[in-house]
Structure 1
Amino acid sequence: MTFERKVANVFRLTDENWMKHANPISVWTRYSVLPFIVIAFWSRTWIEWWCLVPGLVSVLWMFFNPILFDKPKSTKNWASKAVLGERVYLNRDNIPLPDHHTTALHNILNGISSVGLLLSIWSTIYYSVWGAVFGVMMAYLGKSWFLDRMVWLYEDMKTQNETYRDWEY
């Protein structure tokens, strides 16, 4: 079982829930999570322990966002294809990926996102505005580039697999 499949299980991404998560509104609104978490914990000086409330709401939003929206009217858009590509990627232990999609770039992009996340955390702890801004931007740059690679992966794989092809409507 791939690491990504384990993460998908944590988020309860069944076949139906994957399609809900493919709603572009779900994809774009998940971009709000990290900035809201940073702002929530940044506010600990002003609202003290109450900062945990918006922090917890942000974390809950991250977990429930993928299943809150309806299936998209169409999956013929970048955001939906990015999610479908993630689904293809996590299924790589069952259906192998083409060689040009098995490069280390996916790990590098996830590494960039992770470094950005860690910088955001450090900057929030030490109140570095520019560090927090740069960290969030770095995390989202890595994630967005990764998602763009997932669109490319989905476009390649839907021509080779009928199940994947049926996800596009």
Structure 2
Amino acid sequence: MDILKVSERLMSMDESSWQRHSNPLSVYSRFSILPLFTVAIAVREYLGWWTLAAVLLVSLWTWLNPRLFSAPDTTNNWASMGTFGERIYLNRGGENLIPSHHLRMCRWIIGLQFLGLPFWLYSLYSMSYPLMLLSTLWLMITKVWFVDRMVWLYSDVKDWNPVYQSWLKS
């Protein structure tokens, strides 16, 4: 099971939402999701049952984020190219071949993300704020690293397919 493809289906990403998500405001504001989830759960002792409302609001933000911003006029930037690389990575296989060095590195980065996940979950369960901070930081750094790798992937393969080239607007 490819967790990234599952999340794409859950997010109902279509061509329009992908174009809108390539707006740097969407990409950068999306980095707020994990810290918001962390805080929503970390303050459960104060919020009580309202924690569910906070988690639902963050979930709504997660779904709305790629749809809230307009498609950017220019996509010649790190954030936009990161979304393009992610699209290519999600559609890998068949005719959409990805150089093996990118696949290998993506697997490593995703593996490092999954390595941090149990610590993050345990920190939320145990209310260990230092571990919460460190594990959230770990997950955020590996997420930024993954997006950076997607920029590199897009830069390497954009000339292979006219559709990929069409995404880049100067």
The TM-score with structure 2 as length reference comes to 0.91
Q: 1:45 to 1:7 in 2, by over 3 A?
A: closer
Return 5+ residue gaps in structure 2 as ranges: none
Letter in 2 for 1:55: V
Quote the sequence identity (%).
Answer: 35
Deviations 1:128-165 (A, max 9, x none): 11101111111111111111110011011112211101
Determine whether 1:163 maps to 2:146.
no
Moved over 6 A (4+): none
Corresponding position of 1:71 = 71
Contact conserved, 1:24 with 1:79, CA < 8 A, in 2? Answer: yes
Deviations 1:47-96 (A, max 9, x none): 21111111110111112211221101211110110000000111212311
Partners in 2 of 1:113 and 1:98 — Cα distance? 21
Contact conserved, 1:38 with 1:121, CA < 8 A, in 2? Answer: no
Structure 1 range deviating more: 145-154 or 36-45:
36-45
Deviations 1:104-123 (A, max 9, x none): x2122112222323322211
Contact conserved, 1:21 with 1:67, CA < 8 A, in 2? Answer: yes
Partners in 1 of 2:161 and 2:79 — Cα distance? 20
Partners in 1 of 2:163 and 2:21 — Cα distance? 17
Q: 1:40 to 1:102 in 2, by over 3 A?
A: closer
| Residue-pair matches, total | 168
Partners in 2 of 1:115 and 1:161 — Cα distance? 34
Return 5+ residue gaps in structure 1 as ranges: none
Corresponding position of 1:95 = 96
Partners in 2 of 1:2 and 1:119 — Cα distance? 21
Partners in 1 of 2:124 and 2:99 — Cα distance? 40
Partners in 2 of 1:24 and 1:139 — Cα distance? 20
Letter in 2 for 1:15: E
Partners in 2 of 1:41 and 1:6 — Cα distance? 23
Partners in 2 of 1:115 and 1:3 — Cα distance? 15
Corresponding position of 1:34 = 34
Letter in 2 for 1:133: L
1:3-14 aligned at under 5 Å gives the runs: 4-14=4-14
Partners in 2 of 1:117 and 1:71 — Cα distance? 32
Letter in 2 for 1:136: T
Q: 1:113 to 1:44 in 2, by over 3 A?
A: same
